[in-house]
Amino acid sequence: MAHIRKNGWEKDWGIELKEGEKLANRLKRLEKLKAEIMELKQSVISEIRSYQNPPPAVHKVMIATYLLLDYPEKELLNWRNMQALLGKTGKEGLKRQVTSLDPLRVDMAKADFAFDKYLKETDLETIRDTSAGAATFYVWATNMIEEVHAVAEQKDKLLEEEKKRKQEEAEEAKKMEERKKARAAAKKAAPLSKRTSQMPGKKASSDQGRKTSKDAETRGRSNSRGREASRDNVSKSPARPGVARRTSSKSPAARS
């Protein structure tokens, strides 16, 4: 988060930054509660265990605490069983189990059940006046339940964002495929259209060329026939009196 602020990316990462700050604050609060529980002396837990007939508020808080640790409710309703659990140490000790509990491992339905049935009608001041040790577990249990909900909401949000991202990617892939097909179809149709547009022009040009050649040939033949007819007429026409027929284009004087 500090890196985002340092680089001035708050605008682009505003939502993520806000969610990250919330998560960091919750984790700090839980760490503080864990530290307070770890600082509890075994004598405080022994004090809770020493009750032969505990105050109802104390019993409810301890039931809610062990429910979050996934113990069956039926076993916890009997105070003697509760005393046996409070007397355990080491890995099975209450302090160790509470401080190592991951909110992701807590079933939300069980967390809601613990709050609604055993914590909802109990307040911190009443518990603190009765037992300081039980008050510490009350604060831990209520905050753990809040964290379970926060983690679940964040998980749902991430899943929704992931679903939305996949949908957007699928839509973009579909559009790209459609554009690809359109380009391929256009590329395939372009040569055919070009050939179709060029063929009439070529045919017209060829026809025009043949027509021009034919006209020239016809004119050439007509001119040739005209010259031959003219020569025939000259050779067949009678000589006029006093005019000698020219048998050559050159005069006798010229020939001599």
Give the pLDDT band (50/70/90) at residue 251. very low
Cα–Cα distance measured from residue 155 to residue 150, given in angstroms and rounded to the nearest whole number: 9
Picking from 13-17, 101-105, 218-222, which range would have the lowest pLDDT averaged per residue?
A: 13-17
Output the DSSP codes for 157-222.
HHHHHHHHHHHHHHHHHHHHHHHHHHHHHHHHHHHHHHHHHHHHHHHHHHHHHHHHHHHHHHHHHH
Distance CA 54, CA 80 (A): 11
State residue 28's pLDDT score.
Answer: 77
Confidence bin at 80 (pLDDT 50/70/90): very high
Range with top average pLDDT, 88-92, 179-183, 190-194, 251-255: 88-92
Least confident of 69-78, 145-154, 166-175, 183-192: 183-192
Query: pLDDT digits over 20-32, tens only?
Result: 667 677 777 777 7
**Is residue 82's pLDDT more than 90?**
yes
- Residue 154 is predicted with a pLDDT of 74
The more confident residue out of 200 and 18 is 18
Closest CA to 158 of 202, 104, 231: 104
Q: What is the CA radius of gyration of the chain?
A: 55
pLDDT of residue 250: 46
Rounded mean pLDDT, 207-213: 59
What average pLDDT does the segment 112-129 reach?
93
Calculate ∠ Cα 104-109-114, nearest 5°. Answer: 100
Q: Which tokens hold the place of 154?
A: 């964040």
125-129, 151-155, 178-182, 205-209: lowest mean pLDDT where? 205-209
Check whether 67 has a pLDDT greater than 80.
yes
**Res 212: pLDDT:** 60
